[in-house]
Amino acid sequence: MSESASFSAEAYFATQPAPQLLAQEIAGVKEFVARQAAQNRNVVLVTSGGTTVPLELNVVRFLDNFSAGTRGATSAEYFLKAGYAVIFMHRQFSLQPFSRHYSHSTNPFLDFLALEGDGPGADTVGITAAKRADEDLLAVLTAYKRVQTAGTLHTLTFVTVDDYLWLLRAVSQELSVLRRRAMYYLAAAVSDFFLPRQKMSEHKIQSGKGSLHIEMDQVPKVLKPMVEEWTRDGYIVSFKLETDQRLLIPKARAALERYGHQVVIGNELHSRKVQVVFVERKRKPMTFVESWLRIAPAPSAAIHVKEIEEDIVAELLRRHEAWIGEA
Ligand code: 9Z3
């Protein structure tokens, strides 16, 4: 595959079709934002999970971006705990706040139920484990119930990079009415390349011709219009993922220079659960400021471990507060 043309955001939205249910989804977002605004709540848009790039119109094959959705789902919980309302925009079937504790392979729900079934005849270890699991589930359910009652979580799903871009633009525009009180936390892993509708084969690509050559176009860099047009003074946090740690800071600085948003959080693939770097641009004098945030690695995949998202969110709450105060 080789890199080809790049679309401007304008050309992209003029030529690529919007998801069918966009208008309906956005009506829901409008109502949610108005309700939170009436209650004087700060609102954060959390994007989470990877986008796909279909290779055919009748899609059989697609490219995917790595992300389980842990960063987004976990962070959303901490934002909710801090009193923010959350629009959680995630890849279908990726992790979600609260249910993440009992889905996928960590804390499988059936194991929890099996423990519950141990009953009076169970051995002491079984009973202790069941009690622990009970307490954990109760804490998760209590937090979830609180959020449900307060009506502070609104969920949207995407699958393709097209879904993602259309939703991101429309949600950002709706959220912009909150001005500085809105935060945008862009943790989704978004494809850099895509296949424009006009170049896609209608039917399944056939294998008869030997090797496969696909030329993809560059996905528009939407952070620029997001900063300059879609949002008004919102606090925008983007994530930068690299597999070569040495690239993190230079790439984060370049993104801040190019797009002019508030902060880039850099993370390297293998250490992302224990360390991240916040990169920010100060205006007077014009300098970059980097600060690393680290937690001790967990001894095992035990249930009760510190999550780095707790500290990431705490740090962002401080910075967002200061940003609101500057107005
Ligand atoms: C991230 O860097 C996220 O922290 C992860 C989270 C995807 C690494 P998990 O969901 O992983 O917890 O498994 N997200 C941003 C990735 C991205 O696509 N960034 C773009 C880039 O690096 C810029 S917006 O170019």
Question: What is the whole-number distance in angstroms between the Cα of residue 279 and the centre of ligand 1?
Answer: 15
Which residue, by CA, sits nearest to atom 14 of ligand 1? 187
pLDDT for the residue 1: 42
Question: What is the whole-number distance in angstroms between the Cα of residue 240 and the centre of ligand 1?
Answer: 6
Q: What does R_g of the chain's alpha carbons equal in angstroms?
A: 21
Alpha-carbon distances, residue 198 vs 6, 15, 16, 202, 206 (angstroms) = 14, 9, 9, 10, 18
At 295 the three-state DSSP class reads coil
Spans of the chain, pLDDT less than 50: 1-4, 121
Question: What is the whole-number distance in angstroms between the Cα of residue 320 and the centre of ligand 1?
Answer: 21
pLDDT for the residue 120: 53
Question: What is the whole-number distance in angstroms between the Cα of residue 4 and the centre of ligand 1?
Answer: 23
Shortest-distance atom of ligand 1 to CA 191: 18
Beta carbons of 94 and 47 less than 8 angstroms apart: no
Length of the chain: 327
Which residue, by CA, sits nearest to atom 23 of ligand 1? 240
Nearest-angstrom CA–CA distance, 90 and 180 = 23
**Segments making up each domain of the chain, as ranges:** 2-235
At 12 the three-state DSSP class reads helix
Beta carbons of 216 and 193 less than 8 angstroms apart: yes
pLDDT for the residue 94: 97
- Type and span of the H or E element at 43: strand 43-48
pLDDT for the residue 151: 98
Question: What is the whole-number distance in angstroms between the Cα of residue 37 and the centre of ligand 1?
Answer: 29
pLDDT for the residue 2: 41
Diameter of the chain measured on Cα atoms? 70
Beta carbons of 312 and 46 less than 8 angstroms apart: no
Which residue, by CA, sits nearest to atom 22 of ligand 1? 240
pLDDT for the residue 116: 52
Question: What is the whole-number distance in angstroms between the Cα of residue 179 and the centre of ligand 1?
Answer: 25
Which residue, by CA, sits nearest to atom 16 of ligand 1? 189
Beta carbons of 186 and 167 less than 8 angstroms apart: no
Which residue type is seen at 215? E
Which residues, 6+ apart, have CB-to-CB distance to 51 below 8 Å? 64, 65, 91, 158, 159, 160, 161, 163, 164, 188, 189, 190, 191
Which residue, by CA, sits nearest to atom 11 of ligand 1? 67
Question: What is the whole-number distance in angstroms between the Cα of residue 161 and the centre of ligand 1?
Answer: 14
Question: What is the whole-number distance in angstroms between the Cα of residue 26 and the centre of ligand 1?
Answer: 25
- Type and span of the H or E element at 69: none
pLDDT for the residue 223: 98
- The two structure tokens encoding residue 206: 């056939």
Model pTM above 0.90: yes
Question: What is the whole-number distance in angstroms between the Cα of residue 96 and the centre of ligand 1?
Answer: 16
> Probe ligand 1: pick from 64, 67, 267, max atoms within 8 Å of CB?
67
pLDDT for the residue 133: 73
Segment 145-188, tens digit of pLDDT: 999 999 999 999 999 999 999 999 999 999 999 999 999 999 99
Shortest-distance atom of ligand 1 to CA 49: 10
Shortest-distance atom of ligand 1 to CA 95: 10
pLDDT for the residue 3: 44
Nearest-angstrom CA–CA distance, 295 and 266 = 15
Nearest-angstrom CA–CA distance, 79 and 67 = 20
Q: Which fold has domain 2-235?
A: Rossmann fold (3.40.50)
> Probe ligand 1: pick from 241, 248, 268, max atoms within 8 Å of CB?
241
Ligand 1: which residues within 6 Å by Cβ? 67-71, 186-187, 189-190, 238-241, 267, 272
Alpha helices in 176-307 (DSSP H): 223-225, 248-259
